[in-house]
Amino acid sequence: MAQNALEHQLLEATRIMEQQVDAEIEKLDRMDDDDFDKLRERRLEAMRQAQKQKQELLAKGHGKYYEIATEKDFFDECKRSKKVVCHFYRDSTFRCKIVDKHLEILAPKHVETKFIKINAEKCPFLVERLRIVVMPTICVAIEGKTTDYIVGFDDLGGVDDFPTEMLEWRLGRAQAINYQGDLLNPPEIGEKKKGGILGYSKTSKTIKGRDDDGSSDEDDW
C-alpha cells in the first residue's frame, strides 16, 4: 500500500510539472513580436539596473579588500554598506595572513558585500565592545548590526589549508554574501567530506557588543 501511495504521489507530481511546462509553452506560442520585444526590453532594463547598482557599489569601495585605520572608519563603513565583512587581525598572527588570502579572492567575486580589515591592536575600544578575544576573528555586519562571528578556523574545517570555498560557504551561512551553493553542506576539504555543518553555530548580536567570550585554540589575547 505504501509503495502504491508513493508511486501515485510521484505520478501526480509529474503530471503537475507537465501541466506547468505545457502552460509555459502555450504562453510562448501566443506571444507575438511585440510581446517578445517587451520581454527583451524588460530583461535589458534589468541588466542595466544591475550594472548601475554594481557601479554604485564599486564607488563605495566594494569589489576589493582593504584596510581601515580607525574605529570610526568601522562604524562609517557599516553605515555606508548594507553588508560588511571585517577581519580583525594582528600582524604577529600567522593565521590572519591565511584569512587575508581568502578574502582578497572573495571581495571581487561578491561585490554585493564590503570586505575590510582592521588591526585589532589599534582599536582597543572596538575590540572590547565586540568582545573579540581570538585572532583571527571575522565579524559580519548587516544593516549596521553585527550578526555573526567566525572565530578562528573551527567553522572552516579546523585546518590551516581550508579552501576559499569553505570560507565562502560559511559567509553564505551568515547571509553575508549571495551564496549560490548548498548551504546545508560545506564543500569538501581535500579527500574528506565533513558531515553536517562542522559544528557551525550562529550568534546574533547588535553592534554594541557580544554576549559570549568565544573559545578557540587560535591566538588568544
Section 94-122 average pLDDT? 97
Higher pLDDT, 71 or 210: 71
Higher pLDDT, 78 or 24: 78
State the distance between the two ends of the chain, measured CA to CA, in whole angstroms.
63
Q: Are 125 and 74 in contact (CB under 8 A)?
A: no
Section 34-55 average pLDDT? 78
N residues, the chain:
221
| CA-based radius of gyration for the chain | 23
Residue 83: its pLDDT value, please? 97
Find cell 553564505 and name the residue.
Answer: 172
Residue 184: its pLDDT value, please? 92
pLDDT tens, residue by residue, 196-213: 444 444 444 444 445 444
The C-alpha cell that represents 111 in the structure block: 561585490
Whether residue 68 has pLDDT greater than 90: yes
pLDDT tens, residue by residue, 26-43: 776 677 767 777 777 888
Compute the distance between CA of residue 41 and CA of residue 179 in angstroms, rounded to an integer: 28
Residue 204: its pLDDT value, please? 42
Section 136-149 average pLDDT? 97
Section 134-146 average pLDDT? 97
- What confidence tier does 3 reach under pLDDT thresholds 50, 70, 90? low
Cis peptide before 136 (omega within 30 of 0): yes
Could you name the CATH architecture of 62-220? 3-Layer(aba) Sandwich (3.40)
Section 84-111 average pLDDT? 97
Determine what percent of the chain is predicted with pLDDT higher than 70.
80
In sequence order, the 6+-apart residues with CB closer than 8 A to the CB of 157 are 166, 186, 189, 194, 198
Round the average pLDDT of the chain to a whole number and report it. Answer: 83
Strand partners of residue 135? 219
Section 164-175 average pLDDT? 97
Query: So where are the chain's domains?
Result: 2-57, 62-220
| Three-point CA angle 220, 128, 136, nearest 5° | 35
User: Does this model's pTM top 0.85?
Assistant: no
Q: What is the largest CA-CA distance in the chain?
A: 69
Q: What is the DSSP string of 173-215?
A: HTTSS---S-SSSPPPBTTB---TTTT-------TT--S----
Higher pLDDT, 112 or 49: 112
Residue 12: its pLDDT value, please? 75
Whether residue 147 has pLDDT greater than 80: yes
Residue 1: its pLDDT value, please? 59
